[in-house]
Structure 1
């Protein structure tokens, strides 16, 4: 069994004690991290290597940043999402093969404010993701595309639809772009095992008492190719880390895939 988790840590430096404590408790085999907010040479490799993890990191000063940690070897690494013209310097995508699974850590653009270049960039980035996801499907290998997608798939994935109707995370274009990836051949691991679950959130804002009121949204997803979905055993959202002191505003989502 391979336990694979995705977590937007919202600064690995600020959140390192929390992350290490969760790794010691949950013991995932593979961890997809997002929003590192540090450059490669500032990433705390030693602390993870001491716990048996190999690290693939794509950092960026103060913003973005993604990583893959694995207790197995990391083969054929890819450190950018294909399909741009070389001008996209944002650290939002890393991919590798580990435990026989092709895994990617994704930090999809937020896209706010609407009617800005940021929203256009989000949609272009999602088109690139769709194209690459099709290439990965053609390989017929187990694939997990996990991370912070910054997309609320459906109304039941947020506490209040009206509160998000003017946000880039819930726009029809954003949701359609995510559905295009899923309908292209991927399985939303959480919804596959919890089709009727409501109030299943992975993010709670720091403002307005969102955590205490459970005013959350589900924007962190694990999308599985058919070869991975056929081996899916479990998938859960671990709310525990969000309730800790100095917590990230996201919490881990994890799945187990039969070896």
Structure 2
């Protein structure tokens, strides 16, 4: 079973890139972030034509998450995180697919720091941690996948000294990610590549991709029962080099059945 996450940075504007990657990589399940489209503008037909079912939680111009599956029905279990009834940002969707519970998320960026956007990021992270605790304690096979907007360690960022004041590298944000892992989650990429420099995002500016001046901010977390089934975890970094592509690259894991 191959499960991927991909921040598409605008699903309609970059639809040819998404479809090309889906046809090439053929993931079984995909979590998408940053759709930047309202629900009615989701390109359902183009995705179905490739053999994928889909559920999505869209938002005009911003945010938006989706789950695609080519291996069976998607049984939605949650849309949005609990804990803040006033939060109307489309950042979380959860569903059961082929015996695995999958939470697709787009954690807030949080810049500028300090400020209200950073405070919202911390509150959202706390809500995620609360929900994740329930998921991991259930003993079910669960995946949390998406753009977490956090570089967990200095190994996950090119020239970390330049990011000291950024919301993606703030000590309290990195501490929140560590608290999440402490619940028993396995960071799949780092588990398979403990000592490697491995990135998932390269800015559009200053030839960041060409210089491999990147960040690792897209993560796939596995509950204990799924961590035992982990075969591989990789980044399709070459997709970042395609024309009119996202500034993120797809990340994927394969799990033993």
Alignment TM class, shorter chain as reference: over 0.9
| 4+ residue segments displaced more than 6 Å | none
Residue 240 of structure 1 and its aligned partner are, at CA, apart by: 1.4
How does 1:200-219 map onto structure 2 within 5 Å? 200-219=198-217
Mapped to 2, the partners of 1:121 and 1:183 lie a distance apart of 22
> How much is the aligned-residue C-alpha RMSD, in angstroms?
0.8
Structure-1 separation of matches of 2:225 and 2:142: 7
1 CA distance for matches of 2:51 and 2:108? 31
List runs of 5+ in structure 1 lacking aligned partners.
Answer: none
Partners of 2:194 and 2:232 lie apart in 1 by: 13
In structure 2, the partner of 1:222 is 220
TM-score normalized with structure 1 length: 0.97
1:110-156 per-residue CA deviation (whole Å, 9 max, x = no partner) reads: 00000101000000000000000011112211111000000000001
Is there any run of 5+ residues in structure 2 with no aligned partner, and where? Answer: none
Query: Is 1:58 matched up with 2:49?
Result: no
How many correspondences in the alignment? 256
Q: Secondary structure at the match of 1:68?
A: strand
- 2:73 is aligned to 73
Note the C-alpha offset of 1:159: 0.9
User: How many Å apart are 1:54 and its aligned residue?
Assistant: 1.1
Deviation at 1:163, TM superposition (A): 1.4
Distance 1:156 1:103 in 2: 27
- In the aligned structure 1, how far is the partner of 2:134 from the partner of 2:51? 31
1:246 corresponding residue in structure 2: 244
**Whole-Å separation in 2 of the counterparts to 1:43 and 1:132:** 27
2:21 corresponds in structure 1 to 22
Aligned to 1:46: 45
Shift in Å, 1:248: 0.3
State the partner residue of 1:257.
255
Distance 1:59 1:182 in 2: 28
TM-score, L = length of structure 2: 0.98
Deviation at 1:14, TM superposition (A): 1.0
DSSP 3-state at the match of 1:12: coil
1:1-259 map, 5 Å: 2-71=1-70, 72-84=72-84, 86-198=85-197, 200-259=198-257
